[in-house]
């Protein structure tokens, strides 16, 4: 719902932007909010230079699709179809609707507060510094660990592609980390370093490479649909819901995590040409495209192979291609598409991680090195190198296991906060111009918050333990470093 409301007078905006946070006791310091006008005024500014506004709506949309459409659709059917049967298409729709509630809130806030910090900045403007730090710490978990986890998956698909083309694979010792039967996961490190090279070239160049990769992986999925369509058998759709609505719901909860990444465009707020207009559109359009592709691929897949045949299959789409055609060529082609698809996820998620740390650094909550901008390329080079090396080594040398599952809980926590932030900002600043409004607010944000809490509750105890430890470490870092060095804190002195 577009809204071009009137802005407050320039004098009032400038006063609000420059006014320091009020001093107070310990509790007040934790709850100090950063004025929206100040957040927006500082947009793009870093140490020694500024980010460049070079991204249009289509590039922003491709960033979100690039971060979302990857390992999920290529491997998730093997997990979800046995839970729901042919009704997995309904499960995808349910998961997409669940993501939609949070996407609406992201769209409103991205148009109102178009900065790089995503939900971290939204929380800083509405719920205070401590909550913002917790949200940012969750995003570091979500983006950083997921880059490593996705990079590991890329190495597995690369081996499949090599086996199908030249008959040679990377030895296990160099394709898996210690604890998983190897010494060092070289492919995982390689894809992170390649993504780093693109990011160091500049946002426009990275977006161009991502757009090409997104086009290739969408083409690979459409090719799958075209080939597998010839193998559809009507009998494979019956019974449509063999495990009842409970199975459909369980599969929907599993599939929700295939939608994680639609918020990536919000991390590009300071490099978008017209962020207030384009960010909301990019977020909603990317979710629509991804949902349509998921449902189409799922419908064709369950029609081409009996639903019980999906059990235990991690490469269901490639298997279907080979079964339908009787040739391995198509499966190899799909594996090539998967390699490109997953590489684009690494690129866009790594981009989002660097921009969130950029925003946190500018606020003084993490070291200044993360907000230094190279004057020639307009990119945070040191930030990009540090994050890339950390994620690359994590993927290459550490068995992720349950740590990777913790990305889900960090994501859901951030989504929940965004839904709350919409309600808080509507109440505190109703006069602010909003280029997009969540319809039926506060009802839909409350529903979005409820869905996030429900899905967090469905995660296992080990994931919650990892999350609790990560939060404890984050609080130690905040109280030991960020709280004292916060730019809002120094403005009070």
Residue 10 binned pLDDT confidence (cut-offs 50, 70, 90): very low
How remote is the C-alpha of 215 from its chain's centroid? 19
Residue 400 binned pLDDT confidence (cut-offs 50, 70, 90): low
What mean pLDDT is reported for the chain? 84
Q: Is the pLDDT of residue 404 over 70?
A: no
pLDDT digits (tens, 9 = 90+) for 37-95: 888 888 878 887 788 888 899 999 999 999 888 766 776 777 788 889 999 999 999 88
Q: Is the pLDDT of residue 395 over 70?
A: yes
Q: Is the pLDDT of residue 463 over 60?
A: yes
Counting Cα atoms < 13 Å in the Cβ hemisphere of 423 gives 15
Quote the CA–CA distance of 269 and 198 in Å, as a whole number.
Answer: 19
Q: With H, G, I as helix, E, B as strand and everything else as coil, classify residue 484.
A: helix
Q: Would you give the end-to-end CA distance of the chain in angstroms? A: 42
Counting Cα atoms < 13 Å in the Cβ hemisphere of 153 gives 27
Name the β-bridge partners of 368.
none
Q: Which helix (H) or strand (E) holds 45?
A: strand 45-46
Q: Is the pLDDT of residue 203 over 80?
A: yes
**For residues 196 and 52, which has the higher predicted lDDT (pLDDT)?**
196
- Phi, psi for residue 202 in degrees, rounded to 5: 130, 155
- Phi, psi for residue 182 in degrees, rounded to 5: -130, -175
CB 96 within 8 A of CB 451: no
Quote the CA–CA distance of 485 and 462 in Å, as a whole number.
Answer: 33
Quote the CA–CA distance of 202 and 180 in Å, as a whole number.
Answer: 36
How large is the greatest C-alpha to C-alpha distance in the chain, in angstroms? 73
Q: What is the pLDDT of residue 467?
A: 87
Q: With H, G, I as helix, E, B as strand and everything else as coil, classify residue 54.
A: coil
Which of 277-281, 338-342, 346-350 comes out lowest in average pLDDT?
338-342
Q: Is the pLDDT of residue 470 over 50?
A: yes
Q: What is the pLDDT of residue 54?
A: 87
Which burial class, exposed, middle or buried, applies to 237 when counting CB atoms under 10 A from its CB (0-12, 13-18, 19+)?
A: middle
Quote the CA–CA distance of 202 and 31 in Å, as a whole number.
Answer: 36
Quote the CA–CA distance of 140 and 354 in Å, as a whole number.
Answer: 9
CB 13 within 8 A of CB 37: yes
Quote the CA–CA distance of 238 and 271 in Å, as a whole number.
Answer: 49
Which burial class, exposed, middle or buried, applies to 22 when counting CB atoms under 10 A from its CB (0-12, 13-18, 19+)?
A: exposed
Q: Which of 78, 192, 28, 121 is nearest to 361 (CA)?
A: 121
Q: What is the pLDDT of residue 4?
A: 43
């Amino acid at each position: 719902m577009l809204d071009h409301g009137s802005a407050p007078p320039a004098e009032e905006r400038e006063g609000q932007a420059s006014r320091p946070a009020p001093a107070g006791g310990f509790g007040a310091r934790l709850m100090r909010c950063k004025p929206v006008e100040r957040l927006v005024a500082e947009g793009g500014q870093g140490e020694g230079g500024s980010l460049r506004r070079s991204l249009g709506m289509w590039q922003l949309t491709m960033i979100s699709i690039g971060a979302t459409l990857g390992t999920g659709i290529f491997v998730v059917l093997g997990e979800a179809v046995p839970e729901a049967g042919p009704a997995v298409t309904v499960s995808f729709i349910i998961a997409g609707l669940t993501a939609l509630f949070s996407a609406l809130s992201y769209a409103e806030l991205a148009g109102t507060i178009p900065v790089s910090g995503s939900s971290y900045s939204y929380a800083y403007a509405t719920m205070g510094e401590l909550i913002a730090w917790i949200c940012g710490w969750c995003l570091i978990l979500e983006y950083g660990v997921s880059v490593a986890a996705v990079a590991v998956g890329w190495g597995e698909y690369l081996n499949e592609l090599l086996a199908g083309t030249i008959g040679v694979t990377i030895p296990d010792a160099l394709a898996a980390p210690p604890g998983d039967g190897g010494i060092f996961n070289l492919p995982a490190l390689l894809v992170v370093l390649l993504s780093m090279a693109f990011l160091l070239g500049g946002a426009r160049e990275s977006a161009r490479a991502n757009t090409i990769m997104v086009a290739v992986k969408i083409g690979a999925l459409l090719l799958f649909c075209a080939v597998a369509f010839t193998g559809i058998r009507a009998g494979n759709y019956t019974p449509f819901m063999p495990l009842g609505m409970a199975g459909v719901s369980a599969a929907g909860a599993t599939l929700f995590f295939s939608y994680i990444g639609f918020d990536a465009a919000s991390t590009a707020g300071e490099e978008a040409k017209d962020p207030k207009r384009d960010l909301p559109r990019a977020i909603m359009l990317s979710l629509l495209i991804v949902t349509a592709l998921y449902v189409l691929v799922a419908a064709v897949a369950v029609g081409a192979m009996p639903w019980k045949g999906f059990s235990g299959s991690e490469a269901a789409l490639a298997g279907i291609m080979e079964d339908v055609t009787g040739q391995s060529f198509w499966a190899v082609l799909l594996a090539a598409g998967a390699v490109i698809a997953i590489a684009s996820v690494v690129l866009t998620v790594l981009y989002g991680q660097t921009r969130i740390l950029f925003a946190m650094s500018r606020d003084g909550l993490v070291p200044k090195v993360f907000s230094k901008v190279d004057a020639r390329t307009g990119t945070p080079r040191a930030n990009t190198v540090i994050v890339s090396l950390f994620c690359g080594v994590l993927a290459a040398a550490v068995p992720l296991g349950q740590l990777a599952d913790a990305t889900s809980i960090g994501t859901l926590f951030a989504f929940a906060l965004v839904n709350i932030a919409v309600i808080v900002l509507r109440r505190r600043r109703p006069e602010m111009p909003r280029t997009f409004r969540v319809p039926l607010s506060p009802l839909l944000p409350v529903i979005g918050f409820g869905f996030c809490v429900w899905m967090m509750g469905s995660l296992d105890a080990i994931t919650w333990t990892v999350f609790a430890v990560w939060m404890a470490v984050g609080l130690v870092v905040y109280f030991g470093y960020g709280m004292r060095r916060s730019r809002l804190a120094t403005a009070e002195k």
